Amino acid sequence: MCKELQSNALPLFMLCNNGKNDSGTNRDKWVPRPSSKSSYDERMYYFVGKLMGLAIRTKSLLDLNLAPLVWKRICNIPLQEKDILAVDAHAFQITGICEEQKVSAEEMQELQTQIEIFDGLTEQMSVTFEIRGSDGNMYSLIPNGSFIPVTHKNVHKFKAAYHKFRLEEFDFACFAMRRGLATVIPIHYLNILTWSELEKMVCGNPIIDVDLLKRMTSYSNCDVNDAHIRLYWDMVRHKMTDEVPCYITHIFFCLKKSKSIDSKPQYTKYNHNKLGTL
């Protein structure tokens, strides 16, 4: 189910732009699709929120890989520019260009010349009050924004509107999930949680304990002290800081369900045979 949610099979979530562009942080994280704002989409997001609440109640964790900003908005925590950059490293590139031109204009003695250069640059780049959202669709920041060019006179208004749009781009989906979650978990409970605590309660601990995985592994025709076994665990530790190998993704999710070795009924023993297969 979670795999279907985090795919193109449903219109609810999409891979973040850092993942699409293979740059920046959180490349494997998913965010709500901003264009999915119909009443049907709202009901589906609402239902996802209910599933999150059930995951907390029953401790049947969801294998969701949502960006931190999603959990923050579900907890009603305001976003900052750094939260958007964490999933879209180029999100504020256009406003950065505008800022650079403003500063350089102040430093130049021939201010009028610089203003003309700035206006010419924005006209050449076709910068208007219609911008491209994180899903690639065009959105007007103000009514008829596609017909209003950005100039030195309204650049501050453009920047303010652009920042507001990007910071609130995912609110429709996140607040629908929050309302759904609140039908299962008291809403005031969400207000005292940090976003990481909520994520951990719904999805389990995102940090994989390699030592725990090692302790819960059994061996056939080999021993934990064998050279190739030691090399294997060195490889696993190295991959933890890079990317999780696909062939043990399922094992990691099973281990996320528990917090300590004392909860043995929740663990599954994995066998490591001589061929090096878990």
Residue 64 has pLDDT above 90, yes or no: yes
Q: pLDDT tens digit string along 104-130?
A: 545 545 545 555 555 565 665 667 888
Identify the bridge partners of residue 32 per DSSP, sorted by sequence position: 13
Residue 192 has pLDDT above 80, yes or no: yes
Position 235 confidence tier, pLDDT thresholds 50, 70, 90: confident
């979530």: which residue's tokens? 13
Output the six-digit token pair for 166.
């990007």
Q: What sign does the CA torsion over 229, 235, 238, 240 have?
A: negative
Output the six-digit token pair for 22.
């293979």
Mean pLDDT of 70-80: 96
Residue 236 has pLDDT above 90, yes or no: no
Mean pLDDT of 39-68: 95
Position 168 confidence tier, pLDDT thresholds 50, 70, 90: very high
Q: Hey, what domains does the chain have and what are their CATH numbers?
A: 2-88+169-203 (3.90.1750.10), 93-133+135-166 (3.30.2160), 210-272 (no CATH)
